C-alpha cells in the first residue's frame, strides 16, 4: 500500500509541474523585467519565410543556371608546326642508333617545352553560341576551345575583345543552347548573398557562394568601371565566371585579381553586367569597343580636402594629374581642380566619373563644371579615345599592361644590387601573351629588342610602338634568356 501511495504522490507532482510550466510559457514578462531586456530579444524567433534573401543551399542555381556556364581553354601559337623535319633522314627506319634514341625520346608531335593551356570560364548569352568571357585571359591566343556543361566541345572564334573594360565576346557554331538570364546590378546591396559558377583549373562546373562586400569599388590603374567586390573564393580558371544573385540572374562577370595580387588577396571583383552588355553590343556590331576619355586622373574628395579647397560639401572628383596634350589639358584644366558637373549633371563622387565619360563616344563634345580658387568654372572638351595601349603608372611605380597580360613594377635599389642588374622592371603577374611567351612572375625584364629597360613607363611606351613580336631579355634568378612575346 505504501508503494501505491508513493506512486500516486509522484504522478500528482509531475502533473502540477507540467501545468506550472505550461502557464509560465504563456505568461508575459513582468513590466520590470521587460524594461531590462532589449526589444529584439523579446521578439519570437523570426519566420525564415519573411526573409527571402536567406537560403539554406544553392542547389537550384547550380542545377538551373549551370548549363549556361562554359569552360574556356586557350592554347598558345604553335611556332614549330611548320618546321620541316631534317633528322632522321627520310627512309632510314631500322638503324640501331636511331632505335636507341627513339626509345628514350618523346613520341612524335609532343613538345615538352610547350606552355600549359590556360583556363577561364564564360557564359552563354544567345542560343546560337555567343559567349561572354574575360578579355585578359584570351589575349594573344591562337586557339580557343569551349566545353559545355554536358561535355560537348567546340572551337571558338573571337568576335571582339575590349581590354579597357576587361570584356570579351567569343562565339561557337551551335543551336538551342541554354542561355544565362541577365539581371540588374543596381539592386545589389552590401551583405547580399551571391553565387558564381566557374571552371577552376578546367575541371568543370563548380559553384561558390559568398556576399557582396561593396557594390562600387574603383581600383587604381585598373578598369575604368567601378567593380562589385565580393568575398567569393577565386581560383584559376574563374575569370569570366558569371556572378549571380539569388534569383540566378547574372549581375556581373568575374574579373581576375589586379596585378598586385598580394594587396587584394582573399578579395574578388566582378564587372557589373549592365556595363558588360553595353560593351557587348559594340563588340557584336564592330568587333571592338570605343571609350571616351578626358585625360585626367582623379581621387575622392574627403571632408578635410573639401574644407581646404573651400567646398561646402565633400562632393566631386579631385584631379590629381592631367595628361599633357589630352582634352582636359587643352581646356586649361590642371591638378587641384575639382570636377563638380558634367553636361549639367552633378558629379557626387569620383567613383562613377570615369565610367560616365568612358560610356561616351570619342569625339563627343561635353561641358565640364569644375571648382578652382573658390569659384565654379566651365570648360568644353572634345573626348579622345581610350586606346589599347593607353596605360598609366601610379604613384607606386606599378604598371598594368593588361593587353599583354603583364603586371610590372620598378625595381628598388636594393633589388637591383641583389640581382646584379641596373634598371629593368620586375614582373608581378603574367597571363595571356606574356605567359605563352614563357614570362614568369619574379622575372626581371632588362631589354625590349635592343633597348635597355629603365622603368615601367619607358617599357610601356616602347612596347606600345611595337608590332607583332618583341624580343625581351629576361633575368630569372641570375640566368638570362631572350623570350619572344606576340604583341600584334
Q: How much is the pLDDT for 86? A: 46
Closest CA to 73 of 112, 120, 28: 120
Residue 131 has pLDDT above 70, yes or no: yes
pLDDT in tens, 80-125: 444 444 444 555 555 555 455 455 554 544 444 445 567 889 999 9
Pairwise CA distance, residues 481 & 213, whole Å: 43
Q: What percent of the chain has pLDDT over 70?
A: 72
CATH of domain 188-271: 2.40.10.10
Q: How much is the pLDDT for 432? A: 77
Q: How much is the pLDDT for 92? A: 52
Mean pLDDT, to the nearest integer, of 404-426? 84
**Which of 434 and 214 is assigned the larger pLDDT?**
214
Which H or E element spans position 12? Answer: helix 2-26
- Tell which CATH classification among 2.30.42.10, 3.30.420.10, 1.10.3720.10, 2.60.40.420 matches the domain 398-486: 2.30.42.10
Do the domains spanning 68-171 and 188-271 agree at the CATH topology level?
yes
Confidence of residue 435 (pLDDT cuts 50, 70, 90): confident
Pairwise CA distance, residues 84 & 47, whole Å: 74
The winner for highest mean pLDDT among 9-13, 47-51, 182-186, 474-478 is 182-186
Q: How much is the pLDDT for 154? A: 96
Contact by Cβ (8 Å): 197, 206: yes
Q: How much is the pLDDT for 265? A: 66
Contact by Cβ (8 Å): 259, 400: yes
Residue 42 has pLDDT above 70, yes or no: no
Q: How much is the pLDDT for 50? A: 42
Residue 379 has pLDDT above 90, yes or no: yes
The whole-chain average pLDDT of the chain stands at 78
Is 68-171 a domain of CATH 3.80.10.10? no
Residue 147 has pLDDT above 90, yes or no: yes
Mean pLDDT, to the nearest integer, of 133-146? 84
Q: What percent of the chain has pLDDT over 90?
A: 36
Confidence of residue 306 (pLDDT cuts 50, 70, 90): confident
CA torsion, ordered 30, 32, 33, 35, to nearest 10 deg: 120
Q: How much is the pLDDT for 364? A: 95
Confidence of residue 177 (pLDDT cuts 50, 70, 90): very high
Residue 44 has pLDDT above 50, yes or no: no
The winner for highest mean pLDDT among 17-31, 99-113, 221-235 is 221-235
The winner for highest mean pLDDT among 29-43, 76-90, 218-232, 291-305 is 291-305
pLDDT in tens, 50-89: 445 455 578 889 999 999 999 998 875 544 444 444 444 5
**Which of 157 and 408 is assigned the larger pLDDT?**
157
Q: How much is the pLDDT for 69? A: 96
Pairwise CA distance, residues 80 & 138, whole Å: 21
Task: Find the DSSP H helices in 313-431.
Answer: 327-330, 353-358, 413-419
Q: How much is the pLDDT for 15? A: 52
Residue 384's φ and ψ, nearest 5 degrees, are -95, -170
Q: How much is the pLDDT for 387? A: 59
- Among 263-272, 337-346, 366-375, 386-395, the range scoring the smallest mean pLDDT is 386-395
Residue 88, preceding bond cis, omega within 30 degrees? yes
Farthest-apart Cα atoms in the chain, separation? 115
Pairwise CA distance, residues 342 & 331, whole Å: 14
Q: How much is the pLDDT for 56? A: 53
Other residues' Cβ atoms within 10 Å of the Cβ of residue 113: 6
Q: How much is the pLDDT for 5? A: 53
Residue 262 has pLDDT above 80, yes or no: no
Instruction: With H, G, I as helix, E, B as strand and everything else as coil, classify residue 131.
Output: strand
Q: How much is the pLDDT for 472? A: 86
**Which of 6 and 150 is assigned the larger pLDDT?**
150
Residue 418 has pLDDT above 50, yes or no: yes
Residue 230 has pLDDT above 90, yes or no: yes
- Among 20-34, 143-157, 282-296, 455-469, the range scoring the smallest mean pLDDT is 20-34
Q: How much is the pLDDT for 401? A: 55
CATH of domain 292-385: 2.30.42.10
- Among 240-244, 357-361, 431-435, 438-442, the range scoring the smallest mean pLDDT is 431-435
- Among 16-25, 374-383, 476-485, the range scoring the smallest mean pLDDT is 16-25
Q: How much is the pLDDT for 422? A: 84
- Domain boundary assignment for the chain: 68-171, 188-271, 292-385, 398-486
- Among 229-243, 297-311, 326-340, the range scoring the smallest mean pLDDT is 229-243
Mean pLDDT, to the nearest integer, of 296-319? 87
Q: How much is the pLDDT for 257? A: 67
Distances (CA, A) of 85 to 58, 90, 96, 363: 55, 9, 20, 54
Amino acid at each position: 500500500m505504501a508503494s501505491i501511495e508513493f506512486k500516486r504522490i509522484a504522478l500528482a507532482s509531475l502533473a502540477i509541474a507540467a501545468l506550472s510550466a505550461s502557464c509560465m510559457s504563456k505568461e508575459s514578462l513582468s513590466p520590470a523585467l521587460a524594461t531590462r531586456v532589449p526589444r529584439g530579444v523579446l521578439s519570437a524567433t523570426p519566420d525564415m519565410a519573411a526573409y527571402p534573401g536567406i537560403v539554406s543551399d544553392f542547389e537550384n542555381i547550380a542545377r538551373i543556371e549551370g548549363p549556361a556556364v562554359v569552360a574556356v581553354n586557350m592554347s598558345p601559337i604553335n611556332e614549330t608546326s611548320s618546321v620541316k623535319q631534317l633528322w632522321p633522314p627520310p627512309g632510314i627506319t631500322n638503324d640501331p642508333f636511331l632505335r636507341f634514341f627513339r626509345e628514350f625520346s618523346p613520341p612524335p608531335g609532343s613538345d615538352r617545352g610547350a606552355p600549359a593551356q590556360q583556363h577561364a570560364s564564360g557564359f552563354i548569352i544567345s542560343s546560337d553560341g555567343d559567349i561572354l568571357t574575360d578579355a585578359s585571359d584570351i589575349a594573344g591566343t591562337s586557339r580557343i576551345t569551349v566545353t559545355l556543361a554536358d561535355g560537348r566541345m567546340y572551337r571558338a572564334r573571337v568576335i571582339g575583345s575590349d581590354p579597357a573594360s576587361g570584356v570579351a565576346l567569343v562565339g561557337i557554331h551551335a543551336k538551342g543552347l541554354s542561355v544565362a538570364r541577365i539581371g540588374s546590378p543596381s539592386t545589389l546591396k552590401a551583405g547580399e548573398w551571391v553565387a558564381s559558377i566557374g571552371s577552376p583549373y578546367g575541371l568543370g562546373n563548380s559553384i561558390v557562394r559568398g556576399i557582396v562586400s561593396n557594390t562600387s569599388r574603383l581600383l587604381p590603374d585598373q578598369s575604368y568601371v567601378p567593380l562589385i567586390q565580393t568575398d567569393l573564393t577565386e581560383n584559376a580558371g574563374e575569370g569570366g565566371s558569371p556572378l549571380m544573385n539569388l534569383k540566378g540572374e547574372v549581375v556581373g562577370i568575374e574579373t581576375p585579381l589586379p596585378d598586385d595580387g598580394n594587396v587584394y588577396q582573399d578579395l574578388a571583383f566582378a564587372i557589373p553586367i549592365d556595363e558588360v552588355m553595353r560593351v557587348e553590343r559594340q563588340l557584336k556590331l564592330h568587333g571592338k569597343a570605343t571609350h571616351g576619355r578626358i585625360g585626367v586622373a582623379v581621387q575622392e574628395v574627403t571632408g578635410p580636402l573639401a574644407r581646404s579647397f573651400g567646398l561646402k560639401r565633400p562632393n566631386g572628383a579631385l584631379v590629381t594629374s592631367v595628361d599633357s596634350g589630352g582634352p582636359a589639358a587643352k581646356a586649361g584644366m590642371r591638378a587641384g581642380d575639382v570636377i563638380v558637373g558634367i553636361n549639367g549633371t552633378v558629379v557626387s563622387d569620383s567613383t562613377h566619373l570615369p565610367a560616365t565619360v568612358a560610356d561616351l563616344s570619342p569625339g563627343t563634345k561635353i561641358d565640364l563644371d569644375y571648382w578652382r580658387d573658390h569659384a565654379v568654372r566651365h570648360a568644353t572638351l572634345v573626348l579622345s579615345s581610350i586606346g589599347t595601349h593607353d596605360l598609366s603608372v601610379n604613384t607606386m611605380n606599378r604598371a598594368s599592361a593588361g593587353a599583354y597580360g603583364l603586371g610590372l613594377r620598378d625595381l628598388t635599389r636594393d633589388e637591383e644590387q641583389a640581382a646584379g642588374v641596373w634598371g629593368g622592371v620586375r614582373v608581378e603577374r603574367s597571363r595571356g601573351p606574356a605567359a605563352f611567351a614563357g614570362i614568369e612572375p619574379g622575372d626581371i625584364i632588362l631589354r625590349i629588342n635592343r633597348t635597355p629597360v629603365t622603368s615601367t613607363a619607358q617599357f610601356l611606351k616602347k612596347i606600345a610602338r611595337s608590332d607583332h613580336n618583341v624580343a625581351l631579355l629576361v633575368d630569372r634568378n641570375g640566368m638570362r634568356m631572350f623570350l619572344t612575346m606576340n604583341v600584334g
